[in-house]
Structure 1
Amino acid sequence: MDSAYCRPESMGQPERRALAGATFVAANAGLFVYFKSAWWSGKKADKFFFKPDWDQDFRDQDKFGHFLGGYHLARIGDALLRASCVSEPKAIALAATYATLFQLQIEIFDGMYDKYGFSYPDLIANTSGMALAVAQHYHPRLRAFKPTVSYWPTDALRNGKNAELRPSLDYSGQTYWISTDINALLPEQKKGSWPSIVRVSVGHSITDWIEPNTGGNLRAQRKILLSLDLDADKLPGDNPTWNRVKHTLSFIRFPAPALQITPDLKIIGLYR
């Protein structure tokens, strides 16, 4: 969403900004309630502690999710504030601050619970995602690189053998991609030689980290993937509402063929 959506004549600026503020507060409250019930319901730690949780059984797959969260919190916050007629420099600064503080509070609460701890690797991933959104604001050429995600439930989740497994922890079913607009990166004289709707994506996922039949933990292997996919932003039609739908869909990687590079080389006819 860009500043063209700031239309003071349809609603006064104070009302728009109040609505934006209420949205931020409501989103924060809703997500806090979710985290409190889903994550912070176990035993509290004797004291606040830090946990350098690199390369666990799920091979840092959670860090890609943290990166994506930081990116979207900053990106959506920026769009919401600019739609409320906040100036562009102020909007991106406030959105970045919100994204940082929101995810920082989660780590602080994690540091109070035995099972988690304050994860500075998570914080690094959070901040990196936010930083990409800010960098794309100031350097439009970087918008050629878009974080996307795909998800397909694993057998372990469907079998229900592990009571703690839920979609947010179903890391083996999640794939995080960096989708690249090749046409946007070409020199002016070469533009059009690559179809603009086709993007090249590099993805990261993992093999099973939960054994489907027993629910026990496994040491997963990293999966690195290469794929072509379609850019929903380039679909036909220019209606403002449709444009927003297309832009939202452009952050989802839909099933398509892929080349798996690790842990073994193979072509996957329809990677989900």
Structure 2
Amino acid sequence: MDQRPLARFLRSRRALLRPTDVGVADIGPRRTGGLRREELAALAHISASYYARLEQARGPRPSAAVISSLANALRLSDDERTLLFTLSGRSPERDDRTLRSDVTPSVLDLIDRMPGTAAIILNAMFDVLALNPLARVLFEEFSAQADPERNLARAFFLAADPSRRHYGVSATEDFADFAVSQLRAASERYPGDRGLNGLITELRSRSVEFERLWHEVDNVLPRHQMKSLNHSVVGPVELHCNVLSIPDRDQSVLLFTADPGTTSHTALCSLMAIGSHDLESATYR
């Protein structure tokens, strides 16, 4: 396969991008007005040396995932994206998987039948898809947000108030590592999902912490953790947090429970009784 057309296309589109277009700091003199090779490689999550070989028409044929990452980094239109796949000898049809945001009725019914457990359903980019009644009253600040704003990763890394960036829940360092690891893995499974790619681009450009962890964090698997929060009505609550997977939808269920006989369990029981009532009118302490 002649790689020269692909190389010319990559060089021409890179030359059209300005650093400010993609949130890259414009530091030092540039021989051309476009992005440097290493800057584009970083945006596409590939090595600078590998990208240089692609532009020199001497690298191995890139995978569909690499081509999709390059298309996102270059801000290509749909037609340009299709052309890039064609030039690389790949089919765009291999790049059409997107995240599922619809939750099966049986799973929704399941979490509603768990009165002593606060349950939250997430997709692979940390969008909150559903909460059961106890989760709504337990995470009161979070529940007050509109649906489009309910993304745990965005709320965490871009919070205006760092003390409230995890809705008052502890173990913020663990969540930061876990979120970055899971988003990086999701980007490999869904290279063409524009919502996911847009979220990652936003976080990498606006959060110094996220950008640092993107390069540093190894794969982090879900595990049991203890979390704590200070609820405005019931006070301090210590919770077990477990993550269950829904493989056919690539979704997860966060389950928060308390040990029976503890003050935290009593607090959860009180919140169950309060239900959807106005928490400000409750007198429990």
The two structures have a TM-score, normalised by structure 2, of 0.28
Task: Give the number of the structure whose residues are more often strand, by fraction.
Answer: 1
Larger radius of gyration: 2
